[in-house]
């Protein structure tokens, strides 16, 4: 029997949730506010910042100094490309571990996840040298490959969790009807797992979009995404807070909009399996 929750407790919990949400969102909100201020106003005290005038000067400067749309397209191609490539590899791998389980399945999953525990800088030199020798430095395809490999353990783990919820009897019925292995994965398993695949895709697109370490170290100009676009406004002469905030706002705006319209899928992806 479910425990009854009083109105007072519900109100208190709602207030706490809104306060926590505001604290989490405040850095983004402050960045957006600073982007509409001049450099002089951006370094004032908070109350003075809020009462000072509003201007689009920083946005004009950013568009004049940088090719925003080229960086934006690089981010789109690299983030979505890396996730689609990861899905092509992860779907068969997750299927094998979910429906043809072995004694070492859990060990393999933990080994894949453990690769995320090593600092990325530990493999920077060998990867940089390989990319240099193979002509992949400052190319979209190079970043797609490295971000695919970086997110692949998470993609496989999430898909494995979704696939385990699909009844094995359905796949056995498809086999009895003469479905081949490829047909089983493409025409039976994948359509049933569309919500899980969509959640996995959205979450890992956000991770790839925000990746800075590899994009800053493996690109220069041609394939530089929006993370490199933001870094360009941090110079030895100091931080230009208003311009940096404008560049950051332009970089995070697309992913914020995507996250807003797909929040149900994201919540499902983050909480799937928590409640049976």
Q: Is residue 102 part of a domain?
A: yes
Q: Is residue 257 part of a domain?
A: no
State how far the Cα of 55 lies from the Cα of 40, in Å rounded to an integer: 12
Q: Is residue 239 part of a domain?
A: no
- The enclosing domain of 172 has a CATH number of 1.10.3720.10
Give the pLDDT score at 274. Answer: 45
* 93: containing domain: 66-232
Q: Is residue 248 part of a domain?
A: no
- Cα of 253 vs its chain's centroid, Å: 14
Q: Is residue 255 part of a domain?
A: no
Q: Is residue 269 part of a domain?
A: no
Q: Which residues contact 144 (CB under 8 A, 6 or more apart)?
A: 77, 78, 81, 82, 85
Q: What is the pTM of this model?
A: 0.83
Give the pLDDT score at 73. Answer: 94
Give the pLDDT score at 168. Answer: 78
Answer for the pair 83, 210: CB distance below 8 angstroms, yes or no: no
Q: Is residue 259 part of a domain?
A: no
Across 129-158, b (16+ Cβ under 10 Å) vs e yields eebeeeebbebbebbbbbbbbbbbbbbbbb
Give the pLDDT score at 120. Answer: 85
Question: pLDDT by residue (tens digit) across 127-147?
Answer: 999 999 999 999 999 999 999
State how far the Cα of 249 lies from the Cα of 29, in Å rounded to an integer: 9
Give the pLDDT score at 5. Answer: 65
* Residues with pLDDT less than 70, the chain: 1-5, 101, 235-239, 265-276
- How much of the chain is helix, strand and coil, in % rounded to 5? 75, 0, 20
- Please state the domain count of the chain: 1
State how far the Cα of 188 lies from the Cα of 176, in Å rounded to an integer: 13
Q: Is residue 152 part of a domain?
A: yes
Give the pLDDT score at 276. Answer: 43
Answer for the pair 131, 137: CB distance below 8 angstroms, yes or no: yes
């Amino acid at each position: 029997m479910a425990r009854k929750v009083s109105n007072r407790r519900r109100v208190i919990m709602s207030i706490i949730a809104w306060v926590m949400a505001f604290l989490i969102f405040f850095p983004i909100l402050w960045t957006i506010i600073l982007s509409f201020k001049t450099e002089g106003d951006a370094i004032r005290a908070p109350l003075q910042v809020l009462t000072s005038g509003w201007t689009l000067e920083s946005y004009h400067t950013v568009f004049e100094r940088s090719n925003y749309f080229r960086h934006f397209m690089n981010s789109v191609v690299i983030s979505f490309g890396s996730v689609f490539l990861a899905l092509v590899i992860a779907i068969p791998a997750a299927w094998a571990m979910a429906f043809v389980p072995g004694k070492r399945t859990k060990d393999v999953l933990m080994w894949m996840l453990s690769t995320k525990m090593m600092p990325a800088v530990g493999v920077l030199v060998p990867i940089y040298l390989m990319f240099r020798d193979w002509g992949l430095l400052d190319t979209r395809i190079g970043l797609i490959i490295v971000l695919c490999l970086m997110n692949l353990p998470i993609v496989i783990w999430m898909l494995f969790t979704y696939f385990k919820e699909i009844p094995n009897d359905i796949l056995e019925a498809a086999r009895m009807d003469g479905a081949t292995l490829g047909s089983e994965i493409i025409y039976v398993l994948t359509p049933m797992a569309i919500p899980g695949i969509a959640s996995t895709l959205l979450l890992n697109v956000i991770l790839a979009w925000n990746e800075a370490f590899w994009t800053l170290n493996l690109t220069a100009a041609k394939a530089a995404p929006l993370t490199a676009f933001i870094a360009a406004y941090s110079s030895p002469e100091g931080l230009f807070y208003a311009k940096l905030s404008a560049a950051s706002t332009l970089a995070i705006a697309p992913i914020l909009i995507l996250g807003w319209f797909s929040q149900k899928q994201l919540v499902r992806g983050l909480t799937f399996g928590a409640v049976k």
